């Protein structure tokens, strides 16, 4: 399936996989195990940076008061620069792929509906249920997916990833925030949806995508000093974003103020890591069989994005809208911890 464009990833990723394979041979690892373990060697640095941030915050080497500053740098400077760079160097047709948009949106809506149906009860009402559904349907594409997929699949994957970011940030997030207000008396679902959309407009990441797409469409090249500045910021995005994820997860765990049964959060984390990518794979495969012009390589990227752990910024939304942030933080933490194995396994399976 990955060979829809003739290869799995960029030469850089192929070289990394080959080196990982040679290392495993020297260690005497059986050949039947090497594909998964080779991918683990490629993904290890990314998850190691998350672990480094977690340990730094947990041990107070990084003051908790510094985490908002890291978040601000990543959200308002480094990631927008990275998204602009990728958007401006990606063919505009890839950024306007209606098939990718439609299939992924359908899967996001199904994930939200299914998670709500499975979790709503007398204890988990609309506010907690809707934010739980968002964390099940919203992968950590911005902080983790962009750098990880670019490294694994090459820059040709980024156009698809950008489309998925738009779906998650604009539609899925706004829908779930609106649903979270159904049992509230603070203006209702429509007011909440409007508030969510205003939040999207205040987020620099969509604007970076729009500006990058516009630059691609008109083939605009920035003046050399400005381009160098943007590129330097973009290069800082991956390590700082991954380190920040770990620090945010540690802070959320340290601030959890009540015990919780594992049944309230582990099933949602498993749905994110297993059900979401399987749903995208099934829907995309059916769409291709029905004649939808969905590129197999793009479908592979979509499945891997869906296999990412839950987005860490949902925890901030839960806190903002008064949901049980302890539950949301636990879902994010469990999904991130398990994703090192599950995501690497997904890459290895799709490689075959």
SS3 letters across 79-100: HHHHHHHHHHCCCHHHHCCHHH
User: What's the token pair of residue 173?
Assistant: 């997030």
21-25 own/partner pairs: CB under 8 Å, 24+ apart:
none
Model pLDDT, residue 187: 60
Q: Which residues contact 161 (CB under 8 A, 6 or more apart)?
A: 86, 141, 145, 146, 149, 150, 301, 305
Model pLDDT, residue 8: 44
116-125 own/partner pairs: CB under 8 Å, 24+ apart:
116/179, 118/267, 118/271, 119/267, 119/268, 124/264, 125/183
3-class SS at 187?
A: coil
Domains of the chain and CATH, by start: 11-21+37-351 (1.20.1530.20)
3-class SS at 310?
A: strand
In tens digits, what is the pLDDT along the chain, a chain of 352 residues?
444 443 444 554 555 555 555 544 554 555 555 666 777 777 888 889 989 999 999 999 999 999 889 888 988 898 889 889 888 888 888 888 999 999 999 999 999 999 999 988 887 788 888 989 999 999 998 878 887 888 788 888 888 999 999 899 888 988 888 888 777 665 656 666 676 667 667 778 788 888 998 998 888 889 999 999 999 998 888 888 889 888 888 887 787 666 778 888 899 999 999 999 999 999 999 999 999 999 999 999 999 999 999 988 787 777 777 777 788 888 998 999 999 889 988 988 886 5
Q: How far apart are CA 168 and CA 174, in angstroms?
A: 9
CB 92 within 8 Å of CB 217: yes
Between helix 188-202 and helix 173-180 the angle, nearest 10°, is 140
């Amino acid at each position: 399936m990955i060979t829809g464009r003739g290869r799995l990833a960029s030469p850089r990723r192929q070289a990394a996989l080959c080196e990982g394979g040679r290392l495993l041979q020297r260690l005497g690892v059986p050949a039947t195990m090497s594909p998964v373990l080779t991918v683990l060697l490629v993904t290890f640095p990314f998850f190691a940076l998350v672990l480094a941030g977690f340990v730094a915050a947990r041990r107070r080497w990084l003051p908790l008061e510094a985490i908002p500053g890291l978040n601000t740098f990543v959200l308002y400077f480094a990631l927008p620069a990275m998204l602009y760079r990728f958007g401006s160097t990606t063919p505009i047709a890839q950024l306007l792929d209606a098939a990718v948009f439609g299939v992924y949106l359908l899967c996001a809506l199904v994930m939200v509906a299914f998670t709500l149906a499975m979790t709503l009860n007398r204890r988990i009402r609309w506010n907690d249920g809707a934010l739980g559904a968002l964390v099940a349907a919203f992968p950590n594409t911005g902080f983790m997916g962009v750098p990880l997929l670019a490294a694994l699949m090459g820059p040709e994957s980024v156009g698809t990833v950008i489309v998925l970011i738009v779906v998650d940030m604009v539609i899925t997030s706004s829908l779930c925030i609106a649903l979270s207000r159904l049992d509230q008396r603070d203006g209702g679902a429509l007011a909440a949806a409007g508030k969510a959309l205003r939040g999207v407009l205040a987020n620099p990441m969509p604007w970076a995508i729009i500006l990058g797409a516009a630059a691609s469409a008109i083939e605009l090249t920035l003046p050399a000093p400005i381009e160098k500045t943007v590129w330097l910021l973009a290069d800082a995005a991956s390590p700082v974003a991954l380190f920040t994820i770990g620090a945010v997860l540690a802070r959320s765990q340290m601030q959890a103020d009540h015990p919780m049964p594992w049944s309230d959060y582990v099933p949602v984390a498993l749905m994110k890591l297993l059900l979401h990518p399987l749903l995208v794979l099934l829907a995309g495969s059916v769409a291709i069989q029905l004649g939808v012009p969905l590129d197999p390589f793009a479908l592979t990227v979509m499945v891997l994005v869906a296999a990412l752990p839950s987005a860490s910024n949902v925890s901030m939304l839960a806190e903002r809208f008064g949901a049980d942030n302890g539950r949301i933080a636990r879902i994010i933490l469990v999904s991130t911890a398990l994703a090192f194995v599950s995501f690497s396994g997904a890459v290895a399976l799709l490689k075959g």
